[in-house]
Amino acid sequence: MGPRCTSGAGQGPEELAAGFGASGYWTAGDPPPGSYDAVVDCTDDHRMPAAALARAEPAGRLVYIGIAGVPSPIDSRDLVLGDLTAIGILGASAGLGPAIGHYADGRVDPSRIVAVTVGLDDAAGRWPGRSAPGRAPRSTSTHAARTSPG
């Protein structure tokens, strides 16, 4: 079974999931059946951490990438009694260097997820969908790159 993709947004990213090789797509309102050895929540939906926890196999792993703009409560008893390992990554800084290298040498093509590419000096003015109060900013919609002078 290939990778599976679950989204809290539910606004038509089926093609995006398929483009990344995911064999299935679900939303918070229509979660996947069964349970899994590892579950990755990379949404900003406050409901998804608990949904991810509910789908992890005993002794499995949970990875939470990013954070919602409002509290995302989970039942820690499920985490402890399930002997689960949970890892939180805010901003994915540990992988930033290798990711930049992959973009630079062409191993990663961001064109499927990047809305616009601008120089850093223009990035703030071109950022689509600025965050509303109480909502975490989304970082996947715009790619800003330093442009070399001349």
- Of the candidate ranges 29-33, 40-44, 78-82, 110-114, the one whose mean pLDDT is the lowest: 110-114
CATH 3.40.50.720 residue ranges for the chain: 5-90
The predicted pLDDT at position 98 comes to 83
DSSP 109: -
- Predicted confidence band of residue 129 (pLDDT cuts 50, 70, 90): low
Pairing of strands 56-65, 85-89: parallel
When pLDDT is averaged across residues 93-100 and rounded to a whole number, the result is 76
Q: Look over the chain and give the mean of its residue pLDDT values, rounded to a whole number.
A: 74
CATH class of 5-90: alpha beta
Is the pLDDT at 24 greater than 80? The verdict is no
Name which of 66, 30, 36 is nearest 54 in CA terms: 36
Beta strands in 28-84 (DSSP E): 36-41, 56-65
Report the C-alpha gap between 44 and 75 in whole angstroms. 19
